[in-house]
Amino acid sequence: MVYLLYFLTVVSSALFMRGIIVSGDPAATATNILTHERLFRLSAAVGLIATALYIAVTVLFYGLFKPVNKTVSLLAAFFSLVGCAIQAFSSLFQVAPLAVLEGSPYLSVFKADQLQAVALMFIKLNVQATYTYLVFFGLFNLLIGCLIFNSTFLPRILGVLMALSGLGWLTFLSPSLANYLLAYIEILGIIAEAALMLWLLVKGANVERWKEQASAA
């Protein structure tokens, strides 16, 4: 259920931001942010909730896959928590444009176009931080995929999908390549996460086989 809530919140946060950011146009971006201020704030809040939920998912996955390989499971959890920390910190860059554009008296010494440029800079910093987060998310997915593949209590195809999804997110080591392949990466990521989420929600892990693997660890 926690995994489902995470999936819904992260999708909602991304949808809220669609169309607000206009690449290379600080004035249009500033206008959109101020026009849709509540939506902009809601996106940031939902993003933080998604991060908190994924921390819970990380802890649950560590417990689930510890019997498969404790070291790999711990390493996966480490990568996920680092990514979550980066994502939480980057939320400051997401809400900073509002502080810049709200028209506070102490910012009156700056011209409108200067404030708009600073707001866009914060947004770009948030994007760069997200790229870094996605690399750690990719490492997490790759290791979880390997753990699923080597487990006896979940279908191996789920492990293959998660590992491929992780490799896709790792392309953000080269943002230009990732942006070129973004549509395919997102589709693969959604399929992998949705498949694992639905399997765990509907069928769950094979408890008897999990106990057998745990006792043999």
Question: What are the domain boundaries of the chain?
Answer: 2-216
Contact 54, 77 (CB under 8 A): no
Structure tokens at 122: 């914060």
Q: Hey, CA dihedral for 103, 109, 111, 117, is it positive or negative?
A: negative
pLDDT recorded at residue 18: 60
- pLDDT, averaged in runs of 10, over the chain (217 residues): 58 57 68 76 82 92 96 97 93 83 76 83 87 95 97 96 97 91 92 93 91 84
pLDDT recorded at residue 3: 56
Structure tokens at 86: 């980066």
